Chains A and B, each alone.
Chain A
Amino acid sequence: MYLFKSCVAGTFYPGIERSFRFILNSLNVDYFDDPNQSSCTGFAGHCGVVPPEANLSLNARNLALAYNSGYTNVVCTCPTSYANLKECIGELNDVRTRAAINDVLKAVNYEYKGGVTVYHAAEVLYSLKEILAERAKFSLSEVNIATHHGCHYTKVFYDEVTGGLWEYPTLLDEICAAFSATLVDYSERSSCCGLGFSHLIDVDEYTESTSFRKLESVLAEEPDLIVTMCAGCQLILDRFQRQFEDRLNRVVPVLNVSQLVALLLGADKSRDACLQFATIDVAPLIEKMEAV
């Protein structure tokens, strides 16, 4: 697999990708960690500042890099990259679009030829969940988990969701359940975390109000942990709990599913999972996990 790196994960939670690599390494899964790949542009793209042809050309180059490397299964840790790359593949299937974009790529000696499939890292963990559970050093049997799947995984390519239906995805739930976790439902389960792309840099009300509603709903069910599959969602759910601390009464740690699985396999809390980047302290939860 071709590991497609996320700029948001890399900036705020380097543990997400380090954990994913840790998991792949511990299972001896072959992957290619290519530094030449650019960002998918999705974060700026959803703000409307990246011309579609720039987005398509950069990602055609990224996909061509994967194709040329022989690692044609592109695995994203970020749902926005996942959706954006999939959307680009769709657009590039149009002959005229592909020809025009390949005209651009000629200038840098690339050609997009298709032949690449895009997955999310959580889908990889899902397919390996039984093997991973067998190798787990710890258990989640005493942990109540609420999941948040990320809108760009469930709502853009809604008919390609792994685990459950797009309106009630169970991808993360099934992975956690494999490690004996108890899953808790909450009313705003399928709602946006509040990130809102342009809202983070333009209008504050959207993010504040949406993330508060989300957090209020999930905390009401008193989980021990919130598991996500998106660094952006993690940023909002983790950091906004501090912003709303006085209104929410309690806080709950937030982990990416890669971090959680790596920790269960015995990854280093600091070097691999980089828990020091979390705003809400994860240590008490780890103790609970390790105690079992």
Chain B
Amino acid sequence: MSKFGVFLCRCDGNISDSIDIDRLDKDFKRTNVVDSDQHLCSLQGQQKIKKSIRKHNLDGVVIGACSPNNHGKTFRGCMRDAGLNPYLLEITNIREQCSWVTDDRKSATKKARDLVNASLQRLEHAESLSDFRVDVTNATLVIGGGIAGITAALALAENGVKTYLVEKEPSIGGNTVRVGKVFSPHKMVEECAMCSLSPLMNDVYENHKIELLTDAEIANINGTAGHFNVDVKIKPQSVSERCTSCGECAAVCPIEVPDWWNANTRKRKAIYKPFPQAVPDRYTIDVEHCVKCGQCTKVCKSDAIVLEAEPSLRKIEVGAIVVATGHDEFDPSLRPEYGYGRFKDVVTQLELARIIGVNGPTNGELLRPSDGKPPKRIVMIQCVGSRDEKPHGLPYCSSVCCMVALKHANYITDYFPGTDITVLYTDIRAPGIYENYYRHVQEKGVKFIRGRASDVKLKGGKLYVSAEDTLRGQCLELDADLVVLSTGIKPSHGTIQVGETLGIELSDDLFVKEKHPKLEGASTNTKGIYVCGTAQGPKDITYSVLQADAAALEALSLVGQDYVLIEPLSAFVKDSCNGCGMCVRQCKNNAIKMVDRRATVDPMLCTGGGACVHVCPTAALDLHGCTEAQLEASIRGVLAGKSEKEIRNIAFLDTKIGYAAADNIGAARLRYPPSIRIISVPSVLRLAPQHIELAFQLGADGVFIGQGFEAESCGENFESVETRLNDLSKQVVQRGIDPTRLKIYRVYIPHFVGLHKRLMQFDDKIKETGEIEEELTTP
């Protein structure tokens, strides 16, 4: 016979005003060790628990206090300190879900007693669990050598961590190389982007803790947080380190192709150096276009060119990964109404950046592409591809294009005075201090018209932009010598590809999805993989760099440890497994694999939702922390002691959102009758028809299932969770349960009032219908 301790918290009246703790104390003393305190969470309260565990040599503990979301960690710590396995603890929520929501003291006390009893029943089935331990490899991988990747790699290396920086282009630098100028909202001037970037690039090259792999892409990855094995595919290295950058090879190369580094405003050769400050500082061969004529090899004095070079594979081991794969520009030819590609003098902001860049196609002179004349009137069109729900469009705001337009407008009015600039905008987005810069540009006479351009037409050799001045309600046809399209930011091809290879979650827009948009903005949903820069979403250099430092810090705190411990709340396989593989197909996290014709769960990949448990035909799967036995005990527990005319409704809520929303109902002191009994499940996918059926058999009058809105469960998105819930309800109805007694509801934390309303409505309806009829409850 196990010996359990029951510890009840009075919470300074928050609990004891509504619940007769002394009475409960007396009730439970008959079979358990019982104690109570004004504040169990205080150091004194914790001490009381620890002492009692040791003194009575307890086998398990029930704590009746506030929600486990508040002090669950604290109390598990007590267990550990007192030498008891922390998973032998059950916390009964008698505050948020009892004392705060129940009207009269008698009912509240009865409900609290029932809930504690349920916990005691569940505790009978608790199992000791130990955390998983993974030895950490003290090295990191940064994917993408733009300003975010460079920043992250330097931060890691400067903290002494061996860092691999993988870049698919022949030089690091990324889009920052192409933007030319960056703006300063303090000084109201534009500074040279390369002047900030180039020293960082050189630091990367010189830092012996960084190993730079250019012309390289991620081919394969496996492993988990703390230890990843990564295969890096390296393109043929046709120009060796012996290259002195003399440039004689490019002079004789007969092949010309558009130069990406100059936004295709110039041509380069098939053997070329991306840009003067390139790192590594050497020439490279574009193998796609090279015809291997051999001219370059003849003129190379340092014998650096190998035309027949082969691609290679590099295997590396790291503890953490930072994804910094950046963005691409929206292709404006997908919006043909703006004439890009048809009219030479319609260019993108990036092309304008190259035109006014000193190393660009016009050596910094503002000249338009068609006839090389300086444009007198420039019209800039904002939101090209952004905030656009038409096919191929980007529904989101690209967040930097307004500032890019302001930057170029300011620069042009400074260096090419007399140029007339009009910006056609939907909303100018210049947050925070950037507003100063916006005002400054307004003061300089740049015109701002609120209206999204409809089209660009070429009439009599002149460009006309049609837009409505929406503030005046006037249609305009603006003539322009040069039209500049502020094209949006979309996830780069590399971002989508790396997302797939690494198996990390992407957002609807195919950027890498951050773990939490406010609190964990540099983590991904995969442990040990972090993200920064425009790979995670549109943002400017300032925020890319900040996020890169945040991602590096996260990676550092992981690889700085000897080992990592991982909560063992994952699925596990029992001996009865017959190797059918049903669970493998169910698991969207790819956490289950077949090893020797037997399912094996990788606890690092398992997210512990439990959707797999009931697909197993031999009942060989179960879930630590919420086993079949534990779940059944909870159902039995909350229904135990039901009197004849009493109504009881079970609400199954997912721990993360549904249960938290129920806590909010309590915190707001909204009331609901004690007939509603909440059971927390890791995910509603853990529920099978037999659980619902069991509840009805044991006397439940109604079952309410609340799934967190947009919550991920077992790697399935909200829509597929909904589909599965609908299936569940169909199956339950097929088993003879009256469908009006089952309610499925989407829970949304901020709208806990909605959950409250639905719970009340459901309870009212069940009470109207009366206690469940006998024939329905018999199997």
The answer to whether A and B touch directly, with their CB atoms under 8 angstroms apart, is yes
A residues neighboring B (CB under 8 Å): 158-159, 164-165, 167-168, 185, 187-188, 190, 217
Residues in B with CB closer than 8 Å to A168 are 336-337, 342
Query: Are B457 and A187 in contact, with the CB atoms below 8 A?
Result: yes
Known: A159-B391, A185-B342. A217 touches B336 (CB 8 A): no
Q: Contacts of B457 on A, CB cut-off 8 Å?
A: 187-188
Contact residues in B for A159 (Cβ distance below 8 Å): 390-391
B640 surroundings in chain A (CB, below 8 A)? none
Binding site for A on B (CB under 8 A): 334-337, 342, 390-391, 455, 457-459, 464
Sort A-B residue pairs by CB-CB distance and give the 10 closest, nearest first. Answer: A168-B336, A187-B457, A167-B337, A167-B336, A187-B459, A159-B391, A165-B336, A187-B458, A165-B334, A167-B335
B168 to chain A, nearest CB (A): 29
Q: Smallest Cβ distance from A173 to chain B, in angstroms?
A: 13
| Highest count of chain B CB atoms <10 Å: which of A159, A165, A188, A190 | A165
Complex: A188 Cα to B459 Cα, angstroms: 9
Besides the known contacts A185-B342, A187-B459, 20 further A-B residue pairs in the complex with CB atoms under 8 A apart: A158-B390, A158-B391, A159-B390, A159-B391, A164-B336, A165-B334, A165-B336, A167-B335, A167-B336, A167-B337, A167-B455, A168-B336, A168-B337, A168-B342, A187-B457, A187-B458, A188-B457, A190-B337, A190-B455, A217-B459
Q: Report Cα–Cα, A185/B459, bound state, in Å.
A: 11
Could you say which residues of chain B place their CB within 8 Å of the CB of A217? 459
Report the separation of the CA atoms of residues A165 and B393 in the bound assembly, to the nearest whole angstrom.
13
Least CB distance, A156 to chain B, in whole angstroms: 14
Q: List 23 A-B contacts (CB under 8 A).
A: A158-B390, A158-B391, A159-B390, A159-B391, A164-B336, A165-B334, A165-B336, A167-B335, A167-B336, A167-B337, A167-B455, A168-B336, A168-B337, A168-B342, A185-B342, A187-B457, A187-B458, A187-B459, A187-B464, A188-B457, A190-B337, A190-B455, A217-B459
In the assembled complex, the CB of A288 is this many whole angstroms from the nearest CB of chain B, namely: 27
**Chain A: which residue is nearest B334 at the CB level?**
A165
Q: Which residues of A contact B455 (CB under 8 A)?
A: 167, 190
A residues less than 8 Å from B390 (CB atoms) = 158-159
Tell me the complex Cα distance, A159–B342, Å. 21
Assembly CA distance A217 to B337 (angstroms): 16
Per the bound structure, the CA–CA distance linking A167 and B339 in Å amounts to 10
A7 to B245, CA, bound (A): 73
Question: Nearest CB to that of B457 among chain A residues?
Answer: A187
> For A188, what are the chain B residues with a Cβ–Cβ distance below 8 Å?
457
CA distance A168 to B390 in the complex (A): 15
In the bound assembly, the distance between CA atoms of A187 and B335 in angstroms comes to 16
Residue of B nearest to A216 (CB): B459
Q: Which residues of A contact B391 (CB under 8 A)?
A: 158-159
Closest approach, in angstroms, between the C-beta of A205 and any C-beta of chain B?
16
Bound complex: CA of A119 vs CA of B35, how far in Å? 79
Give Cα distance in the complex from A19 to B303, angstroms: 70
Closest A residue to B338 by CB, please name it: A167
**A190 neighbours in B (Cβ, 8 Å):** 337, 455
Measured between C-beta atoms, what is the minimum distance from A27 to chain B in Å? 32
Chain A CB within 10 Å — which of B336, B459, B464 has the most? B336
Residues of A within 8 A of B335 (CB): 167
In whole angstroms, what is the CA distance A188 to B464 when docked?
Answer: 12
Most buried by B among A159, A168, A185: A168
Name the B residues within 8 Å of A165 (CB-CB): 334, 336
CA separation between A165 and B336, bound complex, in Å? 8
A158 CB contacts on chain B under 8 angstroms = 390-391
B503 to chain A, nearest CB (A): 31
Task: For A187, list chain B residues within 8 Å (CB).
Answer: 457-459, 464
Which B residues are in CB contact (< 8 Å) with A167? 335-337, 455
- Distance of A87 Cα from B335 Cα, bound (Å): 25
Residue on B with the closest CB to A190?
A: B337
* A-chain residues with CB within 8 Å of residue B458 when the two chains form the complex: 187
In the complex, what's the smallest C-beta–C-beta distance from A40 to chain B, in angstroms?
Answer: 26
B166 to chain A, nearest CB (A): 36
Tell me how far the C-beta of B756 lies from the nearest C-beta in chain A, rounded to whole angstroms: 32
Q: Could you tell me the distance between the alpha carbons of A190 and B339 in the complex, rounded to whole angstroms?
A: 12
CA A217 to CA B336, docked complex, whole Å: 18
Q: Distance in Å from the Cβ of B395 to the closest Cβ of chain A?
A: 15
State the Cβ distance, A186 to closest chain B Cβ, in Å: 9
CA distance A159 to B393 in the complex (A): 12
A275 CA to B431 CA, complexed, in Å:
63
Taken together as a complex, chains A and B put the C-alpha atoms of A158 and B342 apart, in Å, by: 21
Measured between alpha carbons, how far is A190 from B337 in the docked complex, in Å? 9
In the assembly, what is the distance between CA of A167 and CA of B334, in Å?
9
| Cα-based distance from A165 to B390 in the complex (angstroms) | 12
Q: How far is the CA of A159 from the CA of B459 in the complex (A)?
A: 28
Q: Give the CA-CA distance A164 to B341 in the complex, in Å.
A: 14
* Residue of B with least CB distance to A169: B336
Complex CA distance for A165 and B339, rounded to whole angstroms: 12
| Distance between Cα atoms of A167 and B335 in the complex (Å) | 7
CB distance from A251 to the nearest CB of B (A): 21
Which residues in A have their C-beta under 8 angstroms from that of B337? 167-168, 190
CA distance A164 to B458 in the complex (A): 20
Shortest Cβ distance from B391 into chain A, in angstroms?
5
Which chain A residues lie closer than 8 Å to B336 at the CB level?
A: 164-165, 167-168
A190 vs B455: C-alpha distance when bound (angstroms): 10
Q: Which residues of B contact A164 (CB under 8 A)?
A: 336
Alpha-carbon gap, A187 to B459, bound state (A)? 6
Q: For B334, what are the chain A residues with a Cβ–Cβ distance below 8 Å?
A: 165
A215 to chain B, nearest CB (A): 14
Closest residue of chain A to B336 (Cβ to Cβ) is: A168
Report the separation of the CA atoms of residues A162 and B464 in the bound assembly, to the nearest whole angstrom.
28
Bound CA–CA A76/B300 (angstroms) = 66
